[in-house]
Amino acid sequence: MNPPSARIPVTVIGGYLGAGKTTLVNHLLRNAGARRLAILVNDFGDLPIDADLIEAQSEDLISIAGGCVCCSFGSDLMGALMKLAARSPAPDHVLLETSGVALPGSVARSVALIAGCSIDGVVVLADAETVAARAADRYMGDTITRQLAEADLAILNKTDLVPDAQLLALRKWIASTAPQARLIEAVRGEVPAEVMFGFGYSRAAIEGTGRLASGKLKPVEDASTRYESASFAVPQAVDAERLARALASPDSGLVRAKGVLRDIDGSMKALQVVGARFEVTAFAGRADPGIACIGLRGRMNRAAIERAAGLANTAKIV
C-alpha cells in the first residue's frame, strides 16, 4: 500500500487534432526505462498504444510491456485517477492525453483537486505544418491559441516538414502566443524521456522511501544532441522557494529541474520545475542536497543557476 502522503505526478498532454499526442505517448512508453507509467485516455476507441506494446487487455485496462498500464476514463477522470493512486504498486507517473479540442489547463486544474495526485506539467503539442493556418481559422483558432497559452512545455512537432524560414516564424509566433512556456522542437514526437520526467530523483526518494543518487548525471539521450544536463551539489541551506522561482525563470535557460534542498528554516524540501511551473514540498527521505537540471543545448545559464543557489564552481556539465 502506498504511504498516505504519496502523490502521483501527472503530466497533461494537449494539442489540436493531428499534432502528434499519440505518437509522443508511444515514444515515451518505448523509452520508459524502469518507470511504471499509466496512460489515461478518453476512450479506447481511438487507442493510443501501439499494438506490439500491449500484453493484455480487459474492459477498462490495458497492460503494457514494462509494467505500464493504459486506462480509459470516459467522463469519470477523477474516479480513474483515484483508482490509479490506490493501485499497489502505484504508477511512477501518469500521462493524461486530452482530446484534441480540450483545454489542458482546465484538465490540470481538475487533477490538482485530487489528494493523491499532483500536476507535474502541462505539455501542448503543435503541428509545425498546420498550426499557423489553423490558429488563423475562425472556428478552431481560439482553441489552439488557448491550448498553447496554458502550456508549461510547448512542443513544436514535425519540424522536419517545414522550411527553415517557416520554422523561424513559428518560433516567434509560439513565443508570443505561449509566453510562459518553454519551447522545444521535435520530429515524430521524439522528445527524450528525461525532458518529460526528469532524472536523478526518483518518486520513491521524494516520498521518503529511498535514497537519491548523487554525483554526475547521465547524459540526456538524444541523437540530435539538442539538450544538455547539469548536476549541482547544494550543501548549504537556501531559500528553496526563491531558488525554485529562479530556476523557473526564462533567465535560467532550463526546461526541467528536480532536487532536494535544505531550506533556510532547517527543513528538507523537494523541488520540481517544469518550464515556468515550480513546486516546493516537504521531503522526508535521505539525500545529499542538490539539483539536477536539463536545458536546451547552449541555452542553459550556468552562471544564473549558480548565483541563485549561492554556488561557485560546483556544477558538472554533461
Domain ranges in the chain? 8-191, 211-317
The beta-strand segments (E) located in the chain are 8-15, 37-41, 54-57, 61-64, 68-72, 93-97, 117-127, 153-157, 182-185, 227-233, 254-262, 268-274, 277-282, 290-296, 315-317
202-238 tens-digit pLDDT: 444 444 433 334 434 444 555 456 888 888 889 999 9
Which residues sit opposite 232 in a β-bridge? Answer: 291, 315
**CATH 3.30.1220.10, applies to 211-317:** yes
Beta bridge partners of 263: 238
- Which of these, 209, 299, 197, lies nearest to 249 by C-alpha position? 299
Mean pLDDT by 10 residues, the chain (318 residues): 61 94 93 90 72 82 88 84 86 92 93 88 96 94 96 96 96 94 94 79 41 42 69 91 94 91 93 91 84 89 89 50
Task: Give the per-residue pLDDT at 230.
Answer: 85
CATH dotted code for 8-191? 3.40.50.300
Tens digit of each residue's pLDDT (9 = 90 or more) over 182-198: 999 999 999 988 888 87
d(CA 66, CA 47): 18
How does pLDDT run across 39-72, given as a tens digit for each residue? 998 765 666 788 888 888 877 788 998 889 998 8
What angle in degrees, to the nearest 10, is found between the helix axes of 164-177 and 141-149? Answer: 70
Helices (H), 69-211: 77-86, 104-111, 131-135, 141-149, 164-177, 193-197, 203-206
pLDDT value of position 298: 87
Single pTM value for the model = 0.84
